[in-house]
Amino acid sequence: MNTVMATIFSASFLFSVIRLTTPILLAALAALITDRAGVMNIGLEGIMLCSALAGVVGSAAFHSAFLGLVFAMVTGVVLGLVMAYSALNLKADIILVGIAINLMASGGTIFILYSICGDKGNSTSLKSLTMPSVNIPLIQNIPVLGNIISGHNLLTYIAFLSVFLIWLLLYKTPLGLRIRVVGENPNAAESVGINVRKIQYTVLVISGILASIGGAYMSMGYMDKFSRDMVAGRGFIALAAEALGTGTPVGIMGSSLIFGAADALATNLQVLDIPVQFVQMIPYALTIVGLIVYSISRNKKEKKIGISK
Amino acid sequence: MKFGKRLLSAILVLAMSLTFVLTGCSSEESQGSAAASGSTAQSGTEKAGKKLNVAILLNGTLGDKAFFDSAANGAKMMESELGCTTKVIEMTADETKWLPALTDASENPDYDIIIVGTWQMAEKLAQIAAQYPDKKYIIFDSSVDYKDGKCKNVYSIEYKQNECSYLAGVAGALSTKTGKIGFVGGMENTVINDFLVGYIQGAKAANPNIKVLTSYVGNFTDTAHAKELTLAQINQGADVVFQAASNAGLGVIDGCTAKGKFVIGVDSDQALAFQSSDPAKANAVLTSALKRVDISITKAVKEAQAGTLKFGEAETLGLADNCVGLGTYNKGVSKDVQDKVTEFAEKIKSGSIKVDTAFGKSTSEIEAVKKSVRP
């Protein structure tokens, strides 16, 4: 028991929390930006999976990890545009479009993987590259903190930087204001001359970029290969983290860290006497608790608005 | 426009002629097989000693560096060692093609023996085997249901994975410097626990004070989670980790490579699989616990050729039959360790060591096994 406690309160545990949080945080930010403009992007899982493969293929083809990341982001943008075109121009239900993207990604990535590598399981035969890890000067020399904060993958820092950038975008720019207005009341937005469709196109593209960085992190940071269905539900956990984060970038960073910590806890508790099945349940049970807390707080808020009306 | 029309008519003509050819073939075939099935029935025993014609139907594609490639290698062994005629048919992962392909092969009078594999084929094979009672079938890594005298024409091969994982445990326990080794399984099911039970028993035999950390990914695909579990085990002192997690096992290999620890591969020789594409990973592989599909099916066909193969029965093959074992060793594994492993292997073969199995064990019994080596 003591050894486990020592493990949990160690620098390496907190380091792994940040590592586990990264993909969830990026995808949750992707969910946030669309949600604020009144579109529900449920296809995050699929976008992540496709761009995870695109990153590996791109980096192997161009012999550059950076170009691999760009290729992954292009994939994310294209998928975002596909979603926007189907949902906004062709008037398909956005939830169904998202589900279609997820199904297409699961089968499609295996198909593409097989046609490139001749292997349906993973990209072992491709010489793909990974994004570099970064040691932050000065901070890396601080005893405990340096071991926790420094030495992560570049994409991890991009993820936490994105929290700030998205906050800046939403609250400090005209575009952010329009996004929020469209999300609150699209009819009112239209009446004052905001092009609702253009705004929603924009957020789906931004969402695609964020999710694709999350996907690229899976195959070019966390792991160094692509393997089938490697995103493994993180796109959906991100949706829960977004709901739990009360719609603000900082709130979402907090909720993503909670999910990351739960995941790290589940990993480290496996060696204890607790049944494996119980430990594996922790992140998911937490998701349900989080959603309940969120819906209670939202109900209260709505009641308040109802009274003021 | 004009070109489009021409293309369309060309396609239609092609389709029509193909239909004729195909229907022509199939009617011929069914007549042929009606006549032939009678003759094969009588010749089943007469054929002893004759060179057999073997069809191997794989419910996947080659290139998996494991099971299916091993089966294809078995076909080569049959040709060179037994003089058989073989045909390997990739039915692809598309499950809708499996039953038609198996029916087609059964209709073909040329094939004496049809080989399929994995549990996913067991039920389909039982269905087809009943329709073609005169054909002979072999299934590997699974067994058909023999109740009520069914499947008299099917021979099933199962593998003692607990024996190869026993040796993996011996190799792991002799290679660790910390006295702690790890196990990362895919899902907690009986086959995976069979690996675990053998692994723990082997490790304890080599070092009674060994500690074994056990984790399960919860699926066979989440490589990142598998890597995280591996890193957690390494943080807690493990320096050799055995993976039985199929595709997710890549995460275990990656984690061990990143931390400079050893990993023990599974099913195929994973050092060879990574040799050309990723030497760093290949160098992290201590050895691999293998199921030798090639050897087992060649052995079965050899017996069938001699007329001694026991159709209508399931056999579990292990070390004594050379059908499970360890792959190539890492350069870092000393001669002493290899000799020690061979020594244990000989004892298992001779029967002086009996390897435990998870089959027939209750959950609490398996828990007790895990607990006995928990740090």
The predicted complex's ipTM stands at 0.83
pLDDT: which is higher, A98 or B190: A98
For B111, phi and psi rounded to 5 degrees? -80, 125
Residue entry with tokens 């029935």? B41
Cβ atoms B268, B296 nearer than 8 A: no
- Cβ contact (<8 Å) for B247 and A121? yes
The pLDDT value recorded for residue A294 is: 73
Q: Which two tokens stand for residue B140?
A: 């590997």
* Residue closest to B191 by CA, chosen among B251, B266, B121, B132: B266
pLDDT: which is higher, A255 or B268: A255
What mean pLDDT do residues B74-89 have?
93
Q: How many CA atoms lie within 13 A of A77 on its CB side?
A: 7
Q: What is the mean pLDDT of chain B?
A: 85
- The whole-angstrom separation of Cα A28 and Cα A240 is 8
* Residue closest to A270 by CA, chosen among B143, B346, B238: B238
- The whole-angstrom separation of Cα B64 and Cα B105 is 23
Q: Tell me which amino acid residue B298 is.
A: T
Q: With cut-offs at 50, 70 and 90, classify the pLDDT of residue B45.
A: very low
Chain A: nearest CA to B96, how far in angstroms? 16
Residue A289 CA from chain centroid, whole number: 20
Q: How many CA atoms lie within 13 A of B30 on its CB side?
A: 6
What angle do the packed helices A44-62 and A234-244 form, to 10 degrees? 130
Residue of A nearest to B364 (CA): A275
Kindly report the pTM of this predicted structure: 0.78
Q: Which two tokens stand for residue A14?
A: 């907190």
What mean pLDDT do residues B222-247 have?
91
Residue A127 per-residue DSSP state: -
Lowest mean pLDDT among A56-65, A260-269, B109-118, B180-189: A260-269
pLDDT at position B134 over 80: yes
Helices (H), B207-321: 223-235, 249-259, 270-274, 279-284, 293-306
Does B228 contact A at CB distance below 8 Å?
A: yes
Q: With cut-offs at 50, 70 and 90, classify the pLDDT of residue B33.
A: very low
* Residue closest to B288 by CA, chosen among B262, B274, B269, B263: B269
What mean pLDDT do residues A276-280 have?
81
Q: Is residue B31 exposed (0-12), middle (13-18) or buried (19+ Cβ within 10 Å)?
A: exposed
Q: What is the mean pLDDT of chain A?
A: 89
pLDDT: which is higher, B220 or A254: A254
Complete DSSP assignment for A256-279: HHHHHHHHHHHHHHTTSSS-HHHH
Residue entry with tokens 């040329």? B110
pLDDT: which is higher, B242 or A299: B242
What mean pLDDT do residues B237-245 have?
93
The pLDDT value recorded for residue A306 is: 61
pLDDT at position B43 over 70: no
Cβ atoms A186, A213 nearer than 8 A: no
Nearest to A227 among B63, B221, B277 (CB): B221
The pLDDT value recorded for residue B13 is: 64
Cβ atoms B179, B209 nearer than 8 A: yes
What mean pLDDT do residues A178-184 have?
94
Q: Tell me which amino acid residue B342 is.
A: T
Sign of CA dihedral A79, A26, A22, A46: negative
The pLDDT value recorded for residue A30 is: 96
Q: How many CA atoms lie within 13 A of A289 on its CB side?
A: 10
How confident is the model over A203-228, as pLDDT tens digits? 999 999 999 999 999 999 998 889 88
Q: Which two tokens stand for residue A109?
A: 């990535």
Does B236 contact A at CB distance below 8 Å?
A: yes
How confident is the model over B138-156, as pLDDT tens digits? 999 888 988 888 889 999 9
> Which residues have CB under 8 Å from A286's CB, separation 6+?
A258, A259, A262
What mean pLDDT do residues B277-292 have?
90
- The whole-angstrom separation of Cα B158 and Cα B68 is 15
Longest dimension (CA), chain A: 63
What angle do the packed helices A276-308 and A234-244 form, to 10 degrees? 40
Residue B369 CA from chain centroid, whole number: 26
* Residue closest to B373 by CA, chosen among B178, B243, B241, B179: B179
Does A121 contact B at CB distance below 8 Å?
A: yes
pLDDT at position B76 over 70: yes
Three-state DSSP state, B77:
helix
- The whole-angstrom separation of Cα A184 and Cα B360 is 60
Residues facing B113 on adjacent strands: B54, B136
Lowest mean pLDDT among A259-268, B234-243, B280-289: A259-268
The pLDDT value recorded for residue A282 is: 83
Q: With cut-offs at 50, 70 and 90, classify the pLDDT of residue B2.
A: low
- The whole-angstrom separation of Cα A139 and Cα A171 is 30
pLDDT: which is higher, A244 or B194: B194
- B231 CB neighbours in chain A (<8 A) are 16
Q: Tell me which amino acid residue A44 is.
A: L
pLDDT at position B41 over 80: no
Q: Which two tokens stand for residue A154?
A: 């570049």
Exposure string (b/e) for B105-134, b if CB count within 10 Å is 16 or more? Answer: bbbbbebbbbbbbeeebbebbbebbeebeb
- The whole-angstrom separation of Cα B326 and Cα B349 is 14
pLDDT at position B7 over 80: no
The pLDDT value recorded for residue A83 is: 96
Residues facing A57 on adjacent strands: none
Nearest to A124 among B218, B231, B273 (CB): B273
Three-state DSSP state, B266:
strand
Q: With cut-offs at 50, 70 and 90, classify the pLDDT of residue B38.
A: very low
Nearest to B224 among A124, A223, A273 (CB): A223
Cβ atoms A235, A27 nearer than 8 A: yes
The pLDDT value recorded for residue B216 is: 92
The pLDDT value recorded for residue B218 is: 86
pLDDT: which is higher, B218 or B345: B345
- The whole-angstrom separation of Cα B229 and Cα B224 is 9
Does A271 contact B at CB distance below 8 Å?
A: yes
- The whole-angstrom separation of Cα B53 and Cα B40 is 12
- B371 CB neighbours in chain A (<8 A) are 273
- A236 CB neighbours in chain B (<8 A) are none
How confident is the model over A115-129, as pLDDT tens digits? 998 777 788 878 889
For B115, phi and psi rounded to 5 degrees? -110, 130
Q: Which two tokens stand for residue B162?
A: 């607990």
Residue B176 per-residue DSSP state: -
Cβ atoms B62, B68 nearer than 8 A: yes
The pLDDT value recorded for residue A243 is: 85
Q: How many CA atoms lie within 13 A of B182 on its CB side?
A: 32
The pLDDT value recorded for residue B8 is: 65
For B60, phi and psi rounded to 5 degrees? 180, -160
How confident is the model over B318-357, as pLDDT tens digits? 998 889 999 999 998 999 999 999 999 999 999 899 999 9
Residue entry with tokens 């007469």? B46
What mean pLDDT do residues B240-249 have?
89
Nearest to B218 among A124, A127, A280 (CB): A280
The pLDDT value recorded for residue B270 is: 85
> Which residues have CB under 8 Å from B364's CB, separation 6+?
none
Domains and CATH numbers, chain B: 49-159 (3.40.50.2300), 161-290+322-371 (3.40.50.2300)
- Cβ contact (<8 Å) for A270 and B216? yes
Cβ atoms A160, A176 nearer than 8 A: no
- Cβ contact (<8 Å) for A225 and B60? no
- The whole-angstrom separation of Cα A242 and Cα A97 is 20
pLDDT at position B184 over 70: yes
pLDDT at position B201 over 70: yes
